[in-house]
Amino acid sequence: MTEEFTDPLKIIYQDDGLVAVHKPAGLLVHRTALAAGQTEQFALQMLRDQIGRYVYPIHRLDRPTAGVLLFGLDDETTRRLREAFTDQTIEKRYVALVRGYTDLNGEIDHPLTKWVDHKVKKKKMAQLAEGEELERREAVTHYQRLATAELSISVGRYPTSRYSLVSAQPKTGRTHQIRRHFNHIAHPIIGDHRYGDNRHNRMFRSELALSPLFLLAKSVRFKHPHSGKELVIETVFDPFWIEMVERLGWGRGVLENGQW
């Protein structure tokens, strides 16, 4: 069933050239093939109706990912900010809850294919000549571990379950990059039904009554395309994050340590 969003989008920042909102989890940025034939809401249209003027998407967030989302208010600002994303001069910071204890910090340098839809990927692979492989593009993510927790709940063959709270900075912008990268290093994000560990996802639903994807686009840092001044735009944690840190025994302070 399609989720209905009745509250207006929370505007975090706005000036003459751009506007930043907090995109809630479950909301599409704009119309895609994913919503073909369905009655859907889109962040772009909701914001357009909300502020009464046309807006231009600058980048995307996955549908289940919440957090900072930028829109341009004119062609020039939009062009410059899109170029900044392409040139990797915009610093993006995410927060995620992952399975297991990660290293204190690390770099995930793992090229990714363009294709994430399994049916499309299988079709593309069938079209390859013998010996060819799907094209992979550079993808790099840096991360820092912020906290660890261990619950006395058995998941799979282990008597307890372990988790890490991490801050992640993708240096490239590939589709589902952070989700695919943490899965690649065997620390999938909790609540990720595509790339995650469904045993832990089920445990969170049944034991903790928590089911969202624990991935938040916390902040962006960049030079304003017109003034050149450094601009940091960040959002707050949704209530389900507060519930999660309290149930894992961290308390709200772990989300207020300023390491984003």
Residues 98 and 210 in one domain: yes
Backbone φ, ψ for residue 155 (5° rounding): -130, 120
Task: Indicate the number of domains in the chain.
Answer: 2
Which residue, among 24, 80, 76, 65, has the nearest Cα to 47 in the 3D structure?
24
Do 34 and 141 have their domain in common?
no
Find the range with the poorest average confidence among 45-54, 80-89, 119-128, 233-242: 119-128
Q: Which of 15, 16, 62, 238 is catalytic?
A: 62
Q: Does 17 have pLDDT greater than 70? A: yes
139 shares a domain with 49: no
Look up residue 100 and give its two tokens.
């297991």
Last residue of a domain, one of 58, 87, 116: 87
107 lies in some domain: yes
Let me know if residue 190 belongs to a domain.
yes
What's the CA gap between 168 and 166, in Å, rounded?
A: 6
- Structure tokens given for 118: 């399994």
Burial of 140 (0-12, 13-18, 19+ CB in 10 A): middle
CATH of the domain at 25: 3.30.2350.10
Both 102 and 214 in a single domain? yes
| Domain end (from 52, 87, 122) | 87
230 falls within a domain:
no
**Is there a single domain that holds both residue 125 and residue 243?**
yes
What per-residue confidence (pLDDT) applies to 116? 66
| Co-location of 55 and 118 in the same domain | no
Phi, psi of 182 (to 5 degrees): -70, -30
Q: Does the annotation mark 62 as catalytic?
A: yes
* Same domain? 62 vs 134: no
Domain that holds residue 20: 1-87
Tell whether 56 and 108 lie within a shared domain.
no
Instruction: Give the domain-ending residue among 29, 61, 87.
Output: 87
Given a contact cutoff of 8 angstroms between Cβ atoms, the answer to whether 124 and 136 are in contact is no
What pLDDT does residue 37 have?
Answer: 47
Q: What is the mean pLDDT of residues 135-151?
A: 94
Q: Which of 197, 194, 244 is nearest to 216 (CA)?
A: 244
Is residue 134 in some structural domain?
yes
In one-letter notation, the amino acid at residue 217 is A
* 166-199 pLDDT tens trace: 999 999 999 999 999 999 999 999 999 999 999 9
- Is there a domain that residue 257 lies in? yes
Residue 22: per-residue pLDDT? 98
d(CA 104, CA 215): 18
pTM equals 0.90
Question: For all residues of the chain together, what is the average pLDDT?
Answer: 90
